[in-house]
Structure 1
Amino acid sequence: MAGSTREVVTLQFGHYANFVGTHWWNLQESSFCYDAASSSSPSEINHDVLFREGLTLTGEQTYTPRLIMYDLKGSLNTLKEDGTLYDVLDRDDEVHWMGDVTLHTSETSGKNQFLKDLEKIDKGELPTEEDASSAGTEDSHDEVQETTPHLSTDPLEVFRSKLYNLDGSVSVWSDFLRIHLHPKTVSILSEFAHDPEQDMFDVFSHGQQLLGTQRVSADVEDRLHFFVEDCDSLQGFQMLVDPYNGFGGLAAEVLERMSEDYDNKGILTFGCYPSVFVRRSPIVDYHRLICTVLSVTKLSDNSSLYAPLSVATGLGREPGPVASFPYLSYNPSLHYHTGGILATALDTCTLPYRTRSDAVLMTDLTNTMNYSGRKMAALSARLPFPITLDGSLASSLSQYVAAPDLVSLCPGVREPGRTFMQSVVLRGVPPNRILIPDPAAHADSIFRDCRSANDCLKRYLQHVYPGTLNAGTVVNEPLTVTTPFPHLFHPEIAHDGLVGFKPRSAIQGVEKMPAMTSLSSPSGLQGCLTALHGEVEKVDIRRFHRFLDAGLEEDDFAEAVESLRRLARMYQTSDNEMAEDSDDDSD
């Protein structure tokens, strides 16, 4: 690993957070170039920031994420908790018990076609193109569709080009996990079971209590120390959390310890909310509301920056309608779909501290964003960023000069309002699609004298957000959205992510995608937090005995409600104060 790498350790708490995280790791691995000789230039993205190199017991090189993930019993399906990297067949030291044996079994779903093919590849039995073609002939509910015709003779490339329809065969996040995980990564909380129909891990304090047990406390400390001590120059932590149940409490307690032990490191936390909850009732909805309020206050307090994420528009008891993307169609009830959308935005917005050149430190990013105690941020995105086959970046940006059109992924923030600070990332624009083809015909365009994508983005931000502290990042590499990313793209999106003039072939998937994200500190968060405060201040916590029985004190709940009100006021800034902030930042 290069000595200049500033590593980041990632933690994931909760089932939906692990759906988002699985997509995120798959997206990154799909862009790896394992054969350096076949690449003309190194990747702009420094994958060593989030991944670590290692060796299996047989001396095979591995590349696994610096990742700790927690979930409940029953959430792994066919995945082993300690993975398969260090499996040794026919071990001589196997213990043979000669006494009576009582066999306890639990039902698990079988492996879908994607996992079966992945298992073949791990064994060196690479599936052929004939296998791919024959796999999709059984019935109308096939998990594998036809394969895109191509000239490659590499069986691995044939596998990656297969179009899997996994919508009906993904029930847990491990059903579409493409990468290998380190044995120190997955930890299952056996005290509670994963059951979407009857979630009993729905109390914030249940998570807090778990970290108070010797087993879980020692487990967290052991895994965290392993990955941290493996780093040469740790810059910080990423955290994905389910903030609407007990995982919010567990993550909050872990964060409190981390903020003390690693007080000079950045901690960027994302709260992941599904757009549809299977279990809905007045009491259950109130449980989610209470957990959300406790999580927002605790997680934002001990993080460098906290950003709630969802394609749903509501943060309180009612998730609300879902976000609409011009070129995407998705099923909001499928975690497999919505998690993929959030993951593409996460992979893009975190690029500023993951690039090889001109990278910023996570602490620089978070400290700029949380200026004046504003510890929350909002993420918005344009997925994919639309560029027509005969168009350009400049012409596409021109459409949004009068009215910025990024879709909010922050529940409760529909209109961002005035933006205090923002980090904008633009990625995947083809080099031949940057400038206006005929500048003379666009003499009045603000992009007429731009010479690069950086110039275009800078000019756009200056024009559209004149009173904002803007940081722009341009990365040439697009998102790689091949297998097993869900098929969400409209037919007019070509295989390279550009907007075409005719429908894409039914046997061809989208492989690459340009994208644009903004991680910002907008005044719209005041309305989001004020609405949440308005809901929770009417709650009589004495009516919710499960929270009290789990150790939540009435005074602690009242303090959390008051902290939420104070946090909302952080985003109430007059125009004069905004101007002063802008002047101070420009000095």
Structure 2
Amino acid sequence: MNILHHKSYHVYNRKNIEKVKADEAEAEREAKIKKDKVTLAESESRLTILRQRANANLPAPAEEPKQHFNLFEGLSKGGNQEHEAEVKAKDDQWDKQITMYLEKGAEKAPWYAKESNQVEKYIDKDKFKRRENNDHKKKPIQLLDDPLDAIKKQLKSREERKRDKHDYKRKKADKHKDTKTGSSSIEELRKKRREREQEERARKNRLFLGPQQETLDERNMSYNSQFNKRETEQAHHQRSGSIANHVGTHFWNSQEEYFTYGGSNESKTEEINHDVLYRAGENSSGVSTYTPRTLIYDLKGGFGSMQKYNRLFSMEDDPQQATWDQGVSRIDRSVPKSQYQHELDRMESENDPNINLDILQQLDSSVNNWSDYNRIYYHPRSVNPIVTHQMDNEITPFDNYTIGREAYGQNEKEMDIFEDNFRFFVEECDNLQGFQVFADVDDAFGGFTEGLLNNIRDEYLKTPIMTYGLSDSHAEYRTDRHKQKIILNRVLGMTRLAELSSIYIPIYTPTMAATQRSGLSPYIYFNEHSRYHTSAIIAAAIETNSLPYRLKHNPITMAETISKLNWVRSTSLASLSVCIPLPISKNGYIDTIETMTKKEQLRPTLSLSDRISTTEKIDVYGESLVARGLPRNMSGQFEYLGKLYEGFKEENDPLQSRHRVETSFPLPDSFPRIFTSRLDQEGHVSHQTTYEVPSSIPIMTRLQSGSELKYTVDQHLKQLDKIRFADFYEYSQGECALTKEDFLETKEALITLSDVYTNDDDMMM
């Protein structure tokens, strides 16, 4: 009988082998304890016998000689002390009578007996001669002996400062009263100015939009963040939650938009195979479910208001519910639901497909956590808290790479997530292509991910792993030391996760400066400080990049994509860039080519890497291109694609793959309002201002491995040279501590990566 190696009752299972070894060690320890007890008893018995023999041969103790008892022994030795004291007293009295002492002078009156205004003056009269001009004389030294004078002087100065402050406030209040009388005229001027601006705006609408659209007002169009800068600026504080979970939430929300919920639950597109990312099943009530194949990790308190058990799954569907120590149905009961979540509950309970538009307008300012805009019901095994650490805990912060590595081991001992939940999803796959990992690398989540990848590699040695290392371009540095710690975490994540992954893609949150350089600023406007905004762009790029191995027709596997990028097994880094949106004119491909003559206009590409090469010559080892949202009913597609792919590798190059998909990227209502009024409902570019809400957009992504990555590696190496490892003692503590040798090996790994991605022209120089 052949027993699968991953079954718990397999005799050569790793756990069973460790259990046998532990039992053998325990038996050996007990035998040793028994043997030590016997040896100790025998030694004590021998010592007792030897002591008895030794005492028998000792001579009897000698008796002390008897002496006469003397009652006056003390007097005979020391003399009569009382008599000696009397003689000494008589001698002292006689000395006082015949000895003359000098009279003691009268003491000077103490300082507190003087009058308060009494001051002693000392003048050096011998040093200077008298002259008519007394300026040459040395000024007298004044000694103020009374400490009460110093106290009174200090209190007097304090009263003067208080009085000056009071006078300043009084003068300021009087000034405010004087200016208040003219406020009415200022308000009138403001009112006239607003009326004048409104008239000018109405006149512009009549000239450009015609009389039918005269009432349109750009400021009332809430969809475009370009016209809602106030709400966008309010999102500056929205930085809570890991970037990976923000990206994952947008990723799965967009997947839901592919489905039409009704009697058939059919997909809106026939090009994508959703079984790659979703699993079909049934809950305890017999209801069919279709949930993502995913594991979500976060700290305690990081899940916000998300429920482990929801409308689809109850505690009966999770046999491990007894080990859940954060509440029966909610991870953190103290966090209330957002308005958006309440609206989703209302729509589901009332079976209403229409959402309240006012809540959508307030979504930017109301998002505090990634769970606030989540639309997915996850399986209970997908939600996995890290029980060893609490979110925003200043005493034990989760900001150290080695702490994350140690936390993974401790969390596995407590929860055993890999053995139970991870295998639960993997063993259901009929054709496992690989693993896609989103991980923050600015804090301890990088080390936590290393522990997870180690377990995956132990069980699935040759299975492809595509890891996205996410960093915040606007990470908040409390101190210079904190900045260096984030850099050290990023470097450790790049070197160690790249070694365990088949391909490692470092990604930084996009910025508006990079957007303007790329040429995308006419189409998108976002808050670069909001993870809710920046993660949406990253999620759209990753979702589009994953299309090739999710297609129904002519797909390529994840292993084939990775083989084109890392075919020499040493180029394990790749960079991802995105064109969001891909500007296609609503008038067709021909109009697109004629109006967008430059490459930057036809293909404005935003790089998600840290540094971009400034040289024109870039060696590309391998690349994967995905263009989606290309309508087939437009004429001139062949000419358009020829212009679009100019500058890339040849189509027949074995290290390049090109994929064209008609399905656009769907935009759920939870997607942030980052697109301008130049896009219509289908995401196509319009020559006139439009106020339609885009429901989908065309996107193009490029995943490449080449010399462009050298600048990212060199930047990390340059920053690492400024770090003195001895100053970061916290990295050398704990079970997964780093040593000085490990730090030097990390630097050596960066140097090796830099050499791998060196341009051929640079090597010739």
Q: Shorter-chain TM-score: what band?
A: 0.7 to 0.9
Q: Deviations over 1:422-449 (max 9, x none)?
A: 100000122233516xxxxxxxxxx55x
64, 71, 76: which one pairs with 2:291?
64
Q: Deviations over 1:8-39 (max 9, x none)?
A: xxxxxx82100001000001111223458697
Q: Deviations over 1:190-232 (max 9, x none)?
A: 2222229898111100111122225257222322111111111
CA distance in 1, matches of 2:484, 2:310: 37
Cα drift, residue 400 of structure 1: 1.9
Q: Secondary structure at the match of 2:314?
A: coil
CA contact (8 A) 1:197 1:278 kept: no
Alignment partner of 1:257 is 2:455:
yes
Alignment partner of 1:227 is 2:451:
no
Cα drift, residue 127 of structure 1: 3.5
434, 444, 466: which one pairs with 1:236?
434
Q: Deviations over 1:318-366 (max 9, x none)?
A: xx95544331111111111001010000010111111111111101111
Compared with structure 1, are the counterparts of its residues 331 and 397 closer, same or farther at alpha carbon in structure 2 (3 Å cutoff)? same
CA distance in 2, matches of 1:483, 1:288: 34
CA distance in 2, matches of 1:525, 1:113: 42
**Corresponding residue for residue 367 of structure 1:** 563
Alignment of 1:481-500 (within 5 A): 481-500=667-686
Structure 1 unaligned segments of length 5 or more: list them. 1-13, 96-104, 137-143, 145-162, 314-319, 437-446, 449-455, 579-587
**Corresponding residue for residue 552 of structure 1:** 738
CA distance in 2, matches of 1:323, 1:257: 39
CA distance in 2, matches of 1:404, 1:128: 36
**Corresponding residue for residue 356 of structure 2:** 132
Cα drift, residue 458 of structure 1: 6.3
754, 759, 762: which one pairs with 1:568?
754
The amino acid of 1:412's aligned partner reads R
**Corresponding residue for residue 365 of structure 2:** 168
Cα drift, residue 74 of structure 1: 1.1
**Corresponding residue for residue 474 of structure 1:** 660
CA distance in 2, matches of 1:128, 1:260: 47
Alignment of 1:103-502 (within 5 A): 108-123=334-349, 125-127=350-352, 132=356, 136=358, 144=359, 163-195=360-392, 200-213=397-410, 214-215=412-413, 218-312=416-510, 322-324=514-516, 325-326=520-521, 327-372=523-568, 373-392=570-589, 395=593, 399-400=598-599, 405-413=604-612, 415=614, 417-433=618-634, 435=636, 448=639, 457=641, 460-461=644-645, 464-466=648-650, 469-502=655-688
CA contact (8 A) 1:525 1:571 kept: yes
CA distance in 2, matches of 1:489, 1:510: 8
Compared with structure 1, are the counterparts of its residues 482 and 348 closer, same or farther at alpha carbon in structure 2 (3 Å cutoff)? same
CA contact (8 A) 2:682 2:694 kept: yes
CA distance in 2, matches of 1:186, 1:169: 23
Per the normalisation by structure 1, the TM-score is 0.78
CA distance in 2, matches of 1:414, 1:17: 26
CA contact (8 A) 1:82 1:185 kept: no
CA contact (8 A) 1:23 1:339 kept: yes
510, 514, 537: which one pairs with 2:694?
510
CA contact (8 A) 2:347 2:353 kept: no
CA distance in 1, matches of 2:738, 2:483: 18
CA contact (8 A) 2:582 2:700 kept: yes
CA contact (8 A) 1:461 1:470 kept: no
**Corresponding residue for residue 252 of structure 2:** 25
CA distance in 2, matches of 1:215, 1:83: 27
Alignment partner of 1:529 is 2:755:
no
Cα drift, residue 413 of structure 1: 2.9
CA distance in 2, matches of 1:297, 1:172: 30
CA distance in 2, matches of 1:392, 1:167: 34
Cα drift, residue 278 of structure 1: 3.9
Compared with structure 1, are the counterparts of its residues 430 and 542 closer, same or farther at alpha carbon in structure 2 (3 Å cutoff)? same
The amino acid of 1:424's aligned partner reads L
Q: Deviations over 1:152-195 (max 9, x none)?
A: xxxxxxxxxxx443111111111111111011001111222222
Alignment partner of 1:46 is 2:273:
yes
The amino acid of 1:212's aligned partner reads G
The amino acid of 2:719's aligned partner reads E
Q: Secondary structure at the match of 2:436?
A: strand
Identify the structure with the greater helix proportion.
2
Q: Deviations over 1:96-152 (max 9, x none)?
A: xxxxxxxxx9774432232112113443x22375x837xx3xxxxxxx2xxxxxxxx
Q: Name the Cα RMSD after superposition.
A: 3.1
Cα drift, residue 515 of structure 1: 0.4
Cα drift, residue 459 of structure 1: 6.8
Q: Deviations over 1:479-532 (max 9, x none)?
A: 111211110001111121011133232xx4221100000000121111110121
Cα drift, residue 402 of structure 1: 10
Structure 2 unaligned segments of length 5 or more: list them. 1-240, 323-330
692, 700, 704: which one pairs with 1:520?
704
CA contact (8 A) 2:260 2:268 kept: no
Compared with structure 1, are the counterparts of its residues 182 and 15 closer, same or farther at alpha carbon in structure 2 (3 Å cutoff)? same
The amino acid of 1:66's aligned partner reads R
Compared with structure 1, are the counterparts of its residues 574 and 196 closer, same or farther at alpha carbon in structure 2 (3 Å cutoff)? farther
CA contact (8 A) 2:305 2:333 kept: no
CA distance in 1, matches of 2:502, 2:415: 23
CA distance in 1, matches of 2:497, 2:315: 41
CA contact (8 A) 1:529 1:568 kept: yes
Q: Secondary structure at the match of 1:59?
A: coil
CA distance in 1, matches of 2:265, 2:402: 52
CA distance in 2, matches of 1:256, 1:302: 7
